Structure 1
Amino acid sequence: MKGVLLVNLGSPASPNPEDVKPYLDEFLMDKYVIDVPFLLRALLVRGIILRKRPKESAHAYQQIWWDEGSPLIVLSERMHKKVTKKVDMPVALAMRYGSPSIESGMQELSDKGVTEVLLFPLYPQYAMASTLTILKLAEELQRKKFPHMKITDVPAFYDKPDYIKVLAKSIKTSLEGYDYDHLLFSYHGIPERHIRKTDITKSHCKINDTCCQTPSPAHKFCYRHQCYETTRLVVEELGLPEDKYSLTFQSRLSGDKWLEPYTDVEIDKMPAKGIKNLAVVTPAFVSDCLETLEEIAMRANEDFKENGGENFMAIPCLNDNDDWVAVVANWIKEWAHAETPVA
């Protein structure tokens, strides 16, 4: 019997520091997120970061928390329910960090008699700290606790035509009636070393425009290339002129070289360049979360206006958009009737 496991990032159980701390510990102690030796990671996370970050993060979560709970969890649950109604097989929902866990999702499917699982990381672009950590944990759980299960994963879908069309349509719909000067594509940031580590050729990635535009097997796992390719395809679909959009990376940590240009730095400069009406879309996420609702819709909005901007629009993620749900359901159906990978 076949079944599906949708996997998103996760969220603290509440926006209070006592719940945010264990969530951050699980997240930051992941060797695919902070990829340094365990003792150094523990010293960094538990000895330094977790002394202040839980209180700061809790305050940020409190700004965006809904009555129903964490926006990311609520939106993922809504999407999950809609997908379940469109496919004729069990569909479970899990989070890489926090609850419901990947193990509980696999157990739910196993209890229903599922032996073939389509593992669906809800990330359009491939990255160590998102896609890879989900795949590795699922593989480990399958080996140790669910040996009867066969797992097939959905590859990064950053350039798939039906995804691009849905994303472009969502952006176009949001922008109707909004006379914007510029559309910013803001992607979640990652350390540059992650790009080099996922370069299967061990030589292609130079982290410049040339390597991202030169065909290579490395692109299958290159987050930077995939972000630029998603942007290029959406821009092509929308027919945007070159001077009407740009691409940046957000959510960096200090102490490391992260992908540039930085979202906050570029947004602060825009009003002085004559950009008074800005729209921002965040295509690294399919569900609105802390990084989109607090970092972009609130903080970036405030900074933009403090620097002379007039109007700011944060375009919602795909969330439980019916067109997006239909695409996900179709990919699942394709997998159910074939032995080849979907998407």
Structure 2
Amino acid sequence: MVQRDAVQRDAFETCKILRDNIGKVVLGKDELIDLLIVATMAGEHVLLEDVPGVGKTLAAKALAHSLDGKFARLQFTPDLLPSDITGSMIYRAASGEFEFSPGPIFANVVLADEINRAPPRTQSALLEAMSEGQVTVDGVTHPLPKPFIVIATQNPFEYEGTYSLPESQLDRFLLRTSIGYPVREIEREVMTTHRRGEPVDQLQSVLSSEEILAVQQTVGDVRFDSSLTDYLLDIVAATRQHEAFQVGVSTRGALSFYRGCQALAVLRGRDYIIPDDIKRLAVPALAHRVLPEGVFQGGSRSVVEQQLADLIEPIPVPV
């Protein structure tokens, strides 16, 4: 027990170091930082959805720069090809053979900027990478480095020249969250800290890939009482039965939600789940996985999130 407690403290301290470092440049957004860390420590991916200019790319770069691993940024455009992401086979005249040239997806942290500006065929190039940690080119499978995290951004209010993310793609993201406008005091501080350039470019790495992998291992050991597993599954089942939703949360979504709750417990310094962990992550982990009725008539994100929150409220919480 003493050894387990020590491991848990180390994991909590690792998360705290990462949170403090990101907080140096992402100001006044503690909730956003926590969700980024939850996704990282769960070994999952996150979708940042908000208006332009509020710090989506900044937050993604701050996380990437805080980790001592390879970082790649993919600017999604309508002419981006799948091979521009995964890599391709190149003929080497010297050897007379084809050789695989890895694409930018072979990194520890991948920023998929404005992901909805690429067509579905290109978006689908990320599916295998995000779900299995590998890519297959010309029938040959290539493993991606570990840890592997995709942070995607998109603008939900600008539709010209964009393509909606398919449900199968959305289901690969553990969390969908937004940033929002800062309060006036924080915005004033942003003016001051950015007067000489972009602070994130000077942000130093504070954690190694090995430390991240160690915390991810710890996350898998977090205890999930059977009554709380039933509570989580009650929420998932309710999304499948509620009249507001055409499609509920998938089994893959439920498992991703489960892992996210374990990562949140580690972030909060515990090796066990409490009901508040499940309630806290339910909306950011599930709202993008349900398909609301009337979606083609313009079902908005805020409405779906409120419907999900209302659905969860009456579900009995285990004591």
Question: TM-score higher than 0.5 here?
Answer: no
TM-score grouping bracket, smaller chain normalisation? under 0.3
Normalised by the length of structure 2, the TM-score is 0.25
